[in-house]
Chains A and B, each alone.
Chain A
Amino acid sequence: MNTASQGMLTHAWFVLAGLMLIFYVITDGFDLGVGILSLFQSERSRRDMMIQSIGHVWDANETWLVVVGGVMFGAFPAAYAEIMSSLYVPVMVLIASLIMRGAAIEFRHASHGGRLWDAVFGLGSLLAAGCQGVILGEIVTGLVPGVRETAFVVVTAIGVISGYVLLGATYLVKKTSGQLEASARRSSVTAVIVTALSAIVLSAGTRFASPIGAQRWAQPEVFNVLLALGIVAALAFAYVLYAVRVGSVRGPFRASVVLFLASFAGLAVSLFPDWIPGQLTIADSASSSATLTFMLFGIGMVLPIMVGYNLYQYYLFRGKVVPSQHH
């Protein structure tokens, strides 16, 4: 086996898996954010509009997670097995909350009362975001138990929840109008501030509570990249506030996406070359070259098509939501 080509294939799959994961985080992030925000809407007609805004896309968005699961299982079996079985409880609760969210969003259409399903939808979304935060926090702290580590995990959960609320709120700014849009603008401001505070605490925490801080961040070239990403994130943060204030329709969402991309890239750079810092490297967990090559043909080729029809779906249902006359 040629080790150089194996290394290239492994890196290619690290990038592809990361790309698919960021597709998931951003697209289902706003779905889950909309879900969390729906908990604070007491009026059924407004909740209808909120859920209508994600009605045709949430399923495909969630599917990115399933694709990432399959890709990890195939390309990095050892990492998939290690992360899933070490984090049994948060992964299972995440699955449960995604079931709650998905079932509720479909069944609320069929039911006429609705209050109960809406609560399930909102709580499922909140729980899913929280579990994803816990999983992220556990990975960054190297699956090590401890008080310091637990505190870190709590902050990642808050960070992911507020980040998703930010995506959801700015998405609603784009997709809704009237009072709903106004309240989404207010939520965007709160969410972006909580998200930024969490990011600052987490950056400080990573320096001290994660093996990443001592090893990766001490290297000057890594540090410089992270510094640049930090500046991009700070600019995006400022732009969210500015765009909300001047009444921009698409600006807040776009800036939030940039904020997420910068944070995600920072995370990927920090974790590299490990999946779990200090414990499991990307290279050691990879499948053989034969598998990585075959998967590159099978999945790498259809990825542009997947992105294509997803974009078509967004294009088709573009613009602001108008209330359905249906119920």
Chain B
Amino acid sequence: MLVEALHLARGQFAMTAIFHILWPILTISLSAFVLLLETLWTRTSDVAYYRHARFWSKLLVLNFAVGVVSGIPMEFQFGTNWGPFSRFTGGFVGNILGFEGAMAFMLEAGFIGIMMWGWGRVPKGVHLFATGMVAFGSSISAFWIMVANSWMQTPAGIVVENGRVVVTDYFKAIFNPDMIWAVGHMWFAALETGLVVIAGISAYNLLRRRNPEFFVRSFRLALIALVIVAPVQVWLGDSSGVDVFETQPAKGAAIEGHWHTNAPATGASWSLLAWPDQQKQDNDWSLEVPGMLSVLGTHSLHGRVTGLADIPRADQPPMVPLLYYAFRVMAGIGFAFMLLAFWTGFVMKRTRGRLDALLANRKLLLAWVLAIPLPYIAVECGWIVREVGRQPWVVYGLMRTEHAASNIAASAISATMLMFSVFYAVLLTSFFIFARRWLRKGPDLTLMPPVAPVRTTRAAHEPAGY
């Protein structure tokens, strides 16, 4: 295996994963939001909720399509580019990906058609059920993916026999030490993404005074959820951090630019900002808060935090500055959302949620518009921390990444990487063109729900969707 080909294979995986994750995070939250709207409509019979559900569904289906097609390379890349990894871990990771396909993907795919095209063709309750299955499927998918990924971070419940993983305890393997935090942190990241996108798009329309009565409703719903979701996510992030220091000391040290283990009965210093230099095995410069890292990383005053310089060089993750800053950007965005949500909640409470007061507060609305790209940046940074930070291992402590790649010619990987970049550019551009059109068109405020489940004749096949 040439070093060049290994780097290319890693590059291709990073590129396809970085592109793919943009879409499911919005699918998870937007489908849950549409489910909420449709439930509210079913409960209250308020037609506004129906129109909201139809409006946001259109963004969902656009987003869903790109998510589906960009997910295909992920499923097959393990086999094409990471053959030795697949042979080694298939007994668990492959098993879990099989579960994901059968339990989650098929559920989403089997009901998205009814959700999009089934209006007037199925009774209200069946439609609500279909929407529920799409939302449920997308969350189940995140669950199984994070089970597989967390096991790669903290493998458990297995033995290695004849050069492959054999599961001895499924409970331990699935509920591996990292699993709860991984699933929770990712699922809340997905929820937060959608809520910020909904709040941001609503704020944009409020700023422009387009259908303000309509958009203030979406804005309010998203905000009520965010006031809870944003702080929970900060807590989950903090707990994931403590888990990292316990299970993967090298990753923890790298994301905090921490080089030297603290002496007993002293606290490790925390660098607020620094430039880590792996050559020197130290920071070039740093702004430090004495004793703080022990508190943050171990939740105790003198907790021992292993320094990166005390870990053999061959077991240190590469690209320490990237890890250090990716972590800071992610955590910073998480805090910013919490503050923004609290501030907005406070403003809305003080003005008793009056529309004119909200419309007058242009700075607040602008802040939400500008926030739209931030959750995506935070999620990508989080994945960089997670995956680059696990290096040089692909399965922590069990298999090194350099032993995991297939023997594929570097030229072949370069060609497919080029092909995927072109495809992704086209997909992204097209998505933005169509999303812009959807945004400009706005909601249909004359739309009426189908009166009763239309008993279709055998010939009727007209879609009610789109």
A: residues with CB less than 8 A from B are: 52, 55-57, 59-60, 62-64, 66-67, 69-78, 80-85, 88-89, 91-92, 95-96, 98-100, 102-103, 106-107, 109-111, 287-288, 290-291, 294-295, 298-299, 302-303, 306, 309-310, 313, 316-326
- One of A66, A100, A288, A317 near B113 (C-beta < 8 A): A317
CB-defined contacts of B62 to chain A, threshold 8 Å:
106, 110
Do the beta carbons of A92 and B419 come within 8 Å of each other? yes
- Give 25 pairs: A residue, B residue, CB < 8 Å, sorted on A: A52-B463, A63-B110, A70-B75, A70-B101, A70-B102, A71-B102, A72-B94, A73-B79, A73-B97, A77-B86, A77-B90, A78-B87, A88-B80, A95-B73, A100-B423, A103-B65, A107-B430, A287-B95, A290-B166, A291-B90, A291-B167, A294-B95, A310-B106, A316-B118, A316-B122
Q: Which residues of B contact A80 (CB under 8 A)?
A: 78-79, 86, 90, 94
The answer for the CA separation of A37 and B426 in the assembled complex, in Å, is 25
Q: Which residues on the B side are within 8 Å of A302 (C-beta)?
A: 102-103
**B379 close to chain A: CB less than 8 A:** no
Q: Which residue of B lies closest to A325 (CB)?
A: B462
A56-B116, A67-B106, A295-B98 known; 4 new pairs, CB 8 Å cut-off, are: A56-B463, A80-B86, A111-B434, A288-B167
Bound CA–CA A71/B79 (angstroms): 12
Q: Which of B79, B412, B460 contacts A322 (CB 8 A)?
A: B460
Chain B residues in 8 Å Cβ range of A317:
113, 117, 121, 461
Residue of B nearest to A308 (CB): B110
Within 44-102 of B, Cβ neighbours of A (below 8 Å) are at: 61-62, 65-66, 68-73, 75-76, 78-84, 86-102
Partner of B419, one of A57, A70, A96: A96
Residues of A within 8 A of B166 (CB): 288, 290-291
Given A287-B90, A310-B110, A316-B118, also A103-B69 (CB < 8 A):
yes
Whether A322 contacts B458 by the Cβ 8 Å rule is: no
Instruction: Tell me how far the C-beta of B76 lies from the nearest C-beta in chain A, rounded to whole angstroms.
Output: 6
Over the window 407-428 of chain B, the binary record of Cβ atoms lying under 8 Å from chain A Cβ atoms (1 yes, 0 no) is: 1100010001001100100110
- Which B residues are CB-close (under 8 A) to A291? 90-92, 95, 166-167
In angstroms, how far is the closest chain A Cβ from the Cβ of B155? 15
Are A96 and B423 in contact (CB-based, < 8 A)?
A: yes
B151 at the interface (CB under 8 A from A): no
Tell yes or no: B459 within 8 A of A by CB: yes
Task: From B91, B94, B437, give the contact of A70 (CB < 8 A).
Answer: B94
In the bound complex, do residue B434 and residue A77 qualify as a contact, i.e. CB atoms below 8 Å apart? Answer: no
Q: Let me know if B91 and A287 touch, CB within 8 A.
A: yes
B239-279 contacts to A (CB < 8 Å): none
What is the bound-complex CA distance between A110 and B91, given in angstroms? 42
Q: Is the CB of A324 within 8 A of B463?
A: yes
Q: Which residues of B contact A85 (CB under 8 A)?
A: 79-81, 83, 406-408
Pair B460/A313 contact, Cβ less than 8 Å:
no
Top 8 A-B residue pairs of the complex, sorted by shortest distance between their CB atoms:
A77-B90, A84-B79, A73-B94, A56-B113, A106-B65, A74-B94, A70-B98, A81-B83
Structural contact, B79 and A81, CB atoms closer than 8 A: yes
Nearest residue (CB) in B for A61 is B109
Contact A88 B408 (CB under 8 A): yes
Mostly helix, strand, loop or mixed at chain B's interface? helix
CB-nearest residue of chain B relative to A177? B459
With beta carbons under 8 angstroms apart, the residue of B76, B89, B103, B457 that contacts A84 is: B76
- The complex places the Cα of A306 from the Cα of B109 at a distance, in Å, of 10
Do A110 and B434 have beta carbons less than 8 Å apart? Answer: yes
Q: With A56-B117, A290-B167, A313-B114 given, is the CB distance from A67 to B461 under 8 Å?
A: no
List B contacts of A72 (CB < 8 A). 79, 94
Which of B88, B89, B95 contacts A295 (CB under 8 A)? B95
Which of A69, A76, A303, A306 meets B76, CB within 8 Å? A69
Contacts of B86 on A, CB cut-off 8 Å? 73, 77, 80-81, 84
Known: A98-B72, A302-B102. A77 touches B61 (CB 8 A): no
The answer to whether A57 and B79 have CB atoms under 8 Å apart is no
Say whether B400 faces chain A, with CB atoms less than 8 Å apart. Answer: no
Which B residues are in CB contact (< 8 Å) with A84?
76, 78-80, 83, 86
Contact A103 B462 (CB under 8 A): no
Query: Within 8 Å of chain A (Cβ to Cβ): is B170?
Result: yes
Question: Is B461 a contact of A77 with CB atoms below 8 Å?
Answer: no
Give bound CA distance, A322 to B121, whole Å: 14
B112 contacts the other chain (CB 8 A): yes
Q: Chain A residues near B93 (CB, 8 Å)?
A: 73
Contact A74 B110 (CB under 8 A): no
Residues in A with CB closer than 8 Å to B361 are none
Knowing A69-B75, A89-B412, A288-B91 are in contact, say whether A318-B430 is a contact too (CB < 8 A). Answer: no
Closest to B461 in A: A321
Inter-chain contacts of A63 with B (CB < 8 A): 101, 105-106, 109-110
Chain A residues near B406: list those with CB within 8 A: 81, 85, 88
| In contact, A77 and B109 (Cβ under 8 angstroms) | no
CB distance from A102 to the nearest CB of B (A): 4
B65 CB, min distance to chain A CBs, angstroms? 3
Write out the residue numbers on chain A whose beta carbons fall within 8 Å of the beta carbon of B69: 98-99, 102-103
Q: How far is the CB of B235 from chain A (nearest CB, A)?
A: 32
Identity of the chain A residue whose Cβ is nearest the Cβ of B113 in the assembled complex = A56
A295: which B residues are within 8 A, CB to CB?
95, 98-99
The CA-CA distance from A326 to B97 in the complex, in Å, is 39
